[in-house]
Amino acid sequence: VLDPEQNNTFTDHYLNVPFDLSQVLFIATANNMATIPPALLDRMEIIQIPGYTQEEKVTIALRHLLPKQITENGLTQEQIQIPEDTLKVIVAKYTREAGVRTLERRIGGVCRAVAVRVAEHASKAKHEKMDVGADKKQVTNTNLPAALSQDVSTLAHPPEMPIVIDETALEDILGPPAYESEVSQRLGQPGVAVGLAWTPMGGEIMFVEASQMDGEGKVTLTGQLGDVMKESAELAMNWVRSHAKRLGIEKEKKLLEKKDIHIHFPAGAVGKDGPSAGVTIATVLVSLFSKKCVRSDVAMTGEITLRGLVLPVGGIKEKVLAAHRAGIRRIIMPYRNEKDLLEIPNNIRQELTVVLAHTLDDVIQDAFNGEFTLMKEQPATSKL
């Protein structure tokens, strides 16, 4: 059906009549390409459409969704105002999607609540006008009707119009926030670092934690990790062990046989997988064994090899924007992902300091603000 070289005489097994499909365009959509059979995927032209960023969602809401919902709910710009800051709160705390369908529903919910209030004011003003009209017939003072008409005008146009929706009003209408994004916090103890993750709903920052305790040298991984992430943790652990002398943690290396290591990714109910946590795990382990804290304003992403090379990863745009939303202004990423920075809006790029890492040595030097002294390895052969 999909091969234009063969589907000009396609015969359906039900009709048994050949017909031409060569001029038919088939369009298929999917949220995840991993579940598409390889033979079918090979016959497709793939068009990747990334999800909207937070800034793009706010702009779409201002230009299209908000005016549309105001009109559909019988309101005017003089009756309701939803500032840009309030729209940012709706996007960040009440929606988590790649598109804007839920965002439009949330804006519609706010407009309907305001429409009810406007209708109640209109009904109250109508009854007040009827009562004033009845009293007006019984009063002979000529100055009274003007004052009464002014009162009626005030009731018809309540003084609180337009109704401005702030964060407090938003919570009254939509309820408590449905989503709370993790914000950057000071990493005040060793064994904690901030990583960057990609999700279908956009990027997220992710705290990685590690601790050690007396035991038998066992490594425990928790947080619903997939196979790729487990392999990244093993790579990071083996790299740290093999470079313990250079890192100045050789004494800790000898204790590893009697210490259990626990690596945890918070939000344990959410499954996590993907090749982008290697540098974060390695940094966490170095921090744990050296008892030095990672910089509190830095987040990182990238995969590693046994030799300590930092490999490129995907989803850079979403990850960088997630770090920016969380207040993080310094990002460590693979050198080969430099080209992906062109997708970042210029106003956001100017506020960030991006460190491009070739090896794990580069990552560790920057993550610990240059306080880490890496000793050079002795060459295997002497110089002639």
Strands 310-311 and 303-304, by their bridges, are antiparallel
Strands (DSSP E) found in 76-170: 80-81, 163-164
For the record, the structure tokens of 107 come out as 């804006």
Distance CA 169, CA 225 (A): 39
In the annotation, is 276 catalytic?
Answer: yes
Three-state secondary structure call for residue 3: coil
Whose CA is closest to 352, among 322, 372, 381, 379?
A: 322
Q: Which of 276, 287, 290, 317 is catalytic?
A: 276
Rg (CA), the chain: 30
Q: Which residues pair with 303 in a beta bridge?
A: 311
- Answer yes or no: are the C-beta atoms of 253 and 241 closer than 8 Å: yes
Tokens of 128: 């007040």
The number of C-alpha atoms within 13 Å of 363 and in the hemisphere containing its C-beta is: 32
Alpha carbons 5 and 231: distance in angstroms, whole number = 43
What is the spatial distance between Cα 8 and Cα 30, in angstroms, rounded to a whole number?
Answer: 27
CA distance 198 to 315: 6
193-226 core/surface letters (b: 16 or more CB in 10 A; e: else)? bbbbbbbeebbbbbbbbbbbeeeeeebebebebe
The strand pair at 202-214 and 192-199 is best described as antiparallel
| Reduced DSSP (H G I as helix, E B as strand, rest coil) percent helix, strand, coil of the chain, to 5 | 45, 15, 40
From the list 219, 201, 214, 236, the residue with the least C-alpha distance to 318 is: 201
Q: How far is CA 320 from CA 11, 338, 346, 353, in A?
A: 51, 12, 12, 11
Concerning whether 296 is annotated as a catalytic residue, the answer is: no
Catalytic site residues?
276, 319
